[in-house]
Structure 1
Amino acid sequence: MPRALILGGTGLIGRAAARRLRASGWTVDAPGREVDREDPRALAQALGDGADLLVDCLCYTAEHARSLLPLARNASSTVMISAKAVYADSEGRHVNSPEPPRFTGPVTEDQRTMTPGDGDYMTREGYGANKVAAEHVLLDSGLPITVLRPSKVHGPGNKRPAEWYFVERILARHQIVLLASRGEGVDHPSAAANIASLIETVAAHPGTRVLNAADPDAPNGLEISRIIARAFDHHWREVLLDHDEAGRHPWRRGFVLDTSAAAALGHQPAGDYAFTVQEALRDLVSTRSWQDRARE
């Protein structure tokens, strides 16, 4: 029976990966806070004699990456969760810059990235730069490490679910929904379930590579509002605004990822956005009351 170790196994992606692998017959160790990501000795103890798959959902800096390398040497395949935040356009703009990036089409893995950085990774400017630095350390090692770059991650248990923007209004029985930029903004969603299925694919095909990890479709804000409304059998009038002063839905700013490299590896997604988001929507209205969420 193959064994996997997932660092950050209690997070959104980690939980989905653990569930997917266990369903496929894997033995999965997915420790949470009991393993200190900053303690190399604790990491080594968690890995033990080795693993068939090592997944790091908590690698944010070059230092984190360097501490991962000794573990990766004892794993048949390693996956590091990065982010689309690393991508930059020809002017150096990225998703966390004051002005949004502009790309001519779906972004491939060979798109320019931000300059590597070592500042505070918890800042808007530092997050992507630190992720790039971590990627370089891992990819330059020559070990069978796959870097996954997801986009707007969604799934049950998300602490900041973008879908709540529409769910809150539906539960309040709004009869009108305002959509900035005519609802045409696209910020490619990545279901945790689809990231998990890609992790399983990578486990079967070890290698040193970068892969975009996103849903097979990229619906815009208007389409997402309709998907969510249908899930709750809700009907409202859509007001498409030319400006961005009202109706500022979470998908109005972003870009689309090209996932053809993952498909070429043999990845078969768990489902499209409309299918995979259903579990998250059920979770939103079952775990806590919508009144509690509205006050957050």
Structure 2
Amino acid sequence: MPHAIVLGGTGLLGRASALRLARAGWSVVVTGRDPGHVPDALDEAGARFVSSDRRDAAALADVLRGGADLLVDAYCFTADDARSLLPHLPGIGSVAMFSSKAVYVDADGRHINSTERPDFGGPVTEDTATLEPAWDGRYRSRDGYGRNKVAAERVLLESGHPVSVLRASKVHGEGAALPREWHFVRRVLDGRRAVLLAHDGRGFDHPTAAANAAALVQVVGESPGRRVLNIADPDVPTGRDIARAVANRLEHEWEEVLVPGDAPGWHPWDVVPGITLDLRAAEAIGYRPAGTYAELIGPTIDSVVAFGLDAPWAQKAGDTDFDYAAEDAYLARR
């Protein structure tokens, strides 16, 4: 039985990867700091939880001492995070490190967290230029996040070990700390009879289902190699498509109001020019998606609705996304 260790296994990407591997017959150890964040499905699939701080060197050594066929690192944000793995890599058959499309820059040096949106001119391939690395560990900022990810990637890729860097985009799935679908779900719960969509609803930002990321994790576990791979859903829905998916799932009728400009009507997928990740490299090594965004998003919408208006992310989201007064004023002027 192949053995996998998933660091940060109680987060969205980690838990999906652990679940996929356990159901495929792997022996799986999941690490995290709070056993309360382990979903029942992981226990039922036979995964074992170990309470461990990813950034505690002694705790990390205890977890990795016996080695593994596959190490999945869902909590690697800085060069120091990556360096902490280096002494243990000789005992690891394959490493999957989760990164982000936030590392990419367009011809003018713009990235997804820039003030001005980047324009990649087409699907983004893995050889697209990236930000310059930051080695300071300050990843909790718009500029620092991507730069520190680049540094972490380089440390692992230059180690000489079989490391697969998986660059994801707009991750979604059950268990998200702040599900982006809340933007539309709350409007349904609030009984809104119109949904405003900036840029005529045509903006898009390639989503990545955690289940699809997990499918690629299994592939790199079974086929070790040193490479960078984009990972995203096979479809690229627009903001209008996602608004419709939520409304249809919840059997809610509303008028779609297409706003020519950028306000009101902003939503999390309002990215113009839109961003699509090229998936041919992942497909070439055997990646097959678990499903499309449209096929996989239903249970996530249901779980978001189940929390209702007192959802744990309601305060985190704030009220700026739900300025109904501005929307009503726009509707009255039409």
Sort the TM-score into its range (normalised by shorter chain).
Answer: over 0.9
Tell me whether 1:283 sits opposite 2:303 in the alignment. Answer: yes
Tell me whether 1:5 sits opposite 2:5 in the alignment. Answer: yes
Written as runs of structure 1 = structure 2, the 5 A alignment for 1:41-190 is 41-119=58-136, 120-190=138-208
CA offsets per residue over residues 88-129 of structure 1, 9 Å max, x none? 011110011111111110100000000001231111100000
User: 2:282 & 2:220 partners in 1: Cα distance?
Assistant: 9
User: 2:87 & 2:98 partners in 1: Cα distance?
Assistant: 17
Q: Choose 28-37 or 239-248, whichever is displaced more.
A: 28-37
Are the counterparts in 2 of residues 168 and 294 from structure 1 also a CA contact under 8 Å? no
CA offsets per residue over residues 228-254 of structure 1, 9 Å max, x none? 111111111100010112010110125
Are the counterparts in 2 of residues 150 and 190 from structure 1 also a CA contact under 8 Å? yes
Identical pairs, percent: 53
Q: Which amino acid aligns with 2:65?
A: G
User: 1:294 & 1:112 partners in 2: Cα distance?
Assistant: 36
Are the counterparts in 1 of residues 229 and 281 from structure 2 also a CA contact under 8 Å? yes
Partner-residue secondary structure (3-state), 2:31: coil
Structure 2 unaligned regions, length at least 5: 34-50, 317-334
Are the counterparts in 1 of residues 189 and 308 from structure 2 also a CA contact under 8 Å? no
Alpha-carbon shift at residue 174 of structure 1 (Å): 1.3
User: 1:69 & 1:49 partners in 2: Cα distance?
Assistant: 15
Are the counterparts in 1 of residues 5 and 28 from structure 2 also a CA contact under 8 Å? yes
TM normalised by structure 2 equals 0.86
User: 1:271 & 1:30 partners in 2: Cα distance?
Assistant: 24
User: 1:295 & 1:95 partners in 2: Cα distance?
Assistant: 24
Equivalence for 1:26: 26
Partner-residue secondary structure (3-state), 2:94: strand
Equivalence for 2:267: 249
Alpha-carbon shift at residue 265 of structure 1 (Å): 0.8
Equivalence for 2:240: 222
Are the counterparts in 2 of residues 72 and 145 from structure 1 also a CA contact under 8 Å? no
Alpha-carbon shift at residue 294 of structure 1 (Å): 4.4
CA RMSD for the aligned pairs?
Answer: 1.2
Alpha-carbon shift at residue 49 of structure 1 (Å): 1.4
Equivalence for 2:209: 191
Q: Which amino acid aligns with 1:132?
A: V
CA offsets per residue over residues 117-155 of structure 1, 9 Å max, x none? 123111110000000011111111111000000000001
User: 1:163 & 1:273 partners in 2: Cα distance?
Assistant: 12
Alpha-carbon shift at residue 39 of structure 1 (Å): 2.0
Are the counterparts in 2 of residues 54 and 72 from structure 1 also a CA contact under 8 Å? no
Alpha-carbon shift at residue 36 of structure 1 (Å): 1.8
Alpha-carbon shift at residue 267 of structure 1 (Å): 0.7
Are the counterparts in 1 of residues 100 and 167 from structure 2 also a CA contact under 8 Å? yes
Equivalence for 2:230: 212
User: 1:40 & 1:132 partners in 2: Cα distance?
Assistant: 22
Partner-residue secondary structure (3-state), 1:30: strand
Are the counterparts in 1 of residues 32 and 54 from structure 2 also a CA contact under 8 Å? no
Are the counterparts in 1 of residues 65 and 88 from structure 2 also a CA contact under 8 Å? no
CA offsets per residue over residues 65-98 of structure 1, 9 Å max, x none? 1111222221111000010100001111001111
TM normalised by structure 1 equals 0.97
Alpha-carbon shift at residue 295 of structure 1 (Å): 5.0
Equivalence for 2:54: 37
Are the counterparts in 2 of residues 184 and 220 from structure 1 also a CA contact under 8 Å? yes
User: 2:310 & 2:56 partners in 1: Cα distance?
Assistant: 40
Tell me whether 1:17 sits opposite 2:37 in the alignment. Answer: no
User: 2:159 & 2:53 partners in 1: Cα distance?
Assistant: 23
Are the counterparts in 2 of residues 152 and 188 from structure 1 also a CA contact under 8 Å? yes
